[in-house]
Structure 1
Amino acid sequence: MISDASPTPPCDDPEEQALPLDLKGLKCPLPVIRTRKRLAALGPGALVLVETTDPLAVIDIPHFCNEDGHHLERQTATDRGHSFLIRKGTAI
């Protein structure tokens, strides 16, 4: 059967494809530990949107990404904390 419907174009907003990870209320080192665990269960290139309220996350999450070979796509201040859009690296 031939379909006239055109294929759906890929989504331009990577946040829509990201898996949410709500870490609000957790203090250091738990946001990094939980982020590491979530990324370990995913394939290379997967996106995770991490939300935190820990003020140290602005230091810890970027450092974790750099050390473990992940790409921090975006870091944003929110009303109560920060959000981090992380793409899992291929070497992990």
Structure 2
Amino acid sequence: MAQQNHFDFDEVFRPVDLVIIAYQVVMSIIAIVFMSRTGDGGVHVMRHGLSLAAIVALRLLTCRHGGTALNLVSDWYPILTLPFTYKSTGDYIHAVFP
């Protein structure tokens, strides 16, 4: 019998992942809406899109294959990305509130 690939959303994405994914989506929307004020709006959208894709890929790989290195990166990426998140949020402050 063939093995079925079953995708369980709740097993793959933890609450912290969902918060970070929502943040990436909201920042992409803000970058699109305020593209004329942010300068390189396309770059911002691409940056958040790539971050979103990396998070999804990391979580899928971790859940399917496990391993010490993947588990370590998956557990610590929210903390490691805080400085980048803080900096990218600053890019939008003056665009949203001129």
Q: TM-score, normalised by structure 1?
A: 0.27
Instruction: Work out which of the two has the higher radius of gyration on C-alpha atoms and give 1 or 2.
Output: 2
User: Which structure has greater strand proportion?
Assistant: 1
Name the structure where helix makes up a greater proportion of residues: 2
